[in-house]
Amino acid sequence: MTAMGRNRLPRARRLARPGWRTSRKRGKKRRGTPPNAEARMKTGIVVFPGINRERDMAIALERSGARPRMIWHKETDLAGLDLIVIPGGFSFGDYLRCGAMAAHSPVMPAIRAHAERGGYVLGVCNGFQILTEAGLLPGALLRNATLRFIARDCHLRVERTDTAFTVQFQHGETFRAVMAHGDGNYFADDATLDRLEGDGLVVFRYATPSGETTPEAARNGAARNIAGILSPNLRVLGLMPHPEDLVDPLMGGTDGKPLFDALAAA
């Protein structure tokens, strides 16, 4: 994303204090929480200065039965966690490049080690930018082709369903998600794009509601309509639109919930 808004360090530091949980009453199960949620994936949400979507991500995970904890970007101990989530926002004010400074935070070597030993990592919007800057995923997110911030619904087509992130979708189905970025134009050289395609690592594409991958569907100009990609071991997912914005009927729909249901049950 492009830099905008004030630095949110005081709030982020408060949310990331040790022991913070999104649910204050540990013994109370929320409506819609799946049974045996305590045995499900243990999740941490990384908070950088300027990140502003950590609560939305926590709500989405809780709706699917997870119990996420906030991880301040200076922490380095990720022991006991199965899934690390890097949410959207404007980490470090998007100075230099979106995600460039966050990629050098103390937590990032621990996230890299977590991924290398088979742990799951999800990066959404600014989180996707951070993953590319840190080298956990290839390519880069450039300024939108329109040179304007885009805030609107889009549709994503599911390209594969044999991953922990997408197992509850149907191959080829489209679902609605929210675009909210200024730098979401996915770019990579042709060799990298060919490798991603050949290895089946493109997992989401911008599409029309009926599933056609037209140039108009990729409003940010993303190469080959790429909205989300996987690491070679299928454990790291980066995507630009926000599935966490649609996980409850009160939000206007539940199109994004299958992704979080799948992760919580993995």
Q: Is 242 a catalytic site residue?
A: yes
Q: Which of 125, 133, 155, 159 is catalytic?
A: 125
Q: CA-to-CA distance for 183 and 181, rounded, in angstroms?
A: 6
Catalytic site includes residue 114: no
Residue of 114, 155, 181, 242 with catalytic role: 242
* Contact (CB, 8 A) for 78 and 105: no
Give catalytic residues, as residue numbers. 125, 242, 244
